[in-house]
Amino acid sequence: MTRLVRGADGRMWTVRGRMSWSNMDTADDFEHDVAGGHGPGIGMILILAVLALVLVMWTPTGVVVPPWLLLTLVLVFLFFPARWALRRPWTMVAETPGDLDEHPSERWVGTVRGVFNVRQETSKVARNIEVYSLPNVDGPLQPVD
């Protein structure tokens, strides 16, 4: 996701976001990542799959399994992977090469979690650049040397 924005001072800024497939270790997220690795998640998926298979396979021959039950099982299986994919952290970067007069080159970097939040923050950053010539200091982006 890349967007070109013209600042109020005439400089051209590039605002882009990139999905990070690995979790970045930050102090804010440390408490939430107690069980490291993918082992517990894979184990729970296997247990859930075995229990669903047992539920469907051990039904007596006279029992009709309604289609909504199978649909519910599929939705339960897909909920957590979809949530995981939609809540991945994104690295946002806003940068300008500057100009020859009085404005130096600048680079602002930050992290935003979630696809929908990235779109919203990109729009906010682009609007701040158009109006104030800089991203908001109180937002997720911070200047980098």
C-alpha–C-alpha distance, residues 34 and 44, integer Å: 16
Q: pLDDT at position 91, please?
A: 94
89-96/12-19 β-pairing: antiparallel
C-alpha–C-alpha distance, residues 21 and 129, integer Å: 28
C-alpha–C-alpha distance, residues 60 and 145, integer Å: 68
- Could you state, in order of their start, the residue ranges of all structural domains in the chain? 2-21+88-143, 38-86
Exposed/middle/buried for residue 52 (C-beta within 10 Å: 0-12, 13-18, 19+): middle
Q: Write out the chain's pLDDT in tens, 145 residues.
A: 899 999 998 899 999 999 987 766 554 555 555 556 778 778 888 998 898 888 878 888 888 878 998 899 889 888 988 888 888 899 999 999 977 778 889 999 999 999 999 999 999 999 999 999 999 999 999 999 7
Q: pLDDT at position 27, please?
A: 47
C-alpha–C-alpha distance, residues 64 and 109, integer Å: 56
Which SS3 state, helix, strand or coil, does residue 18 take? strand
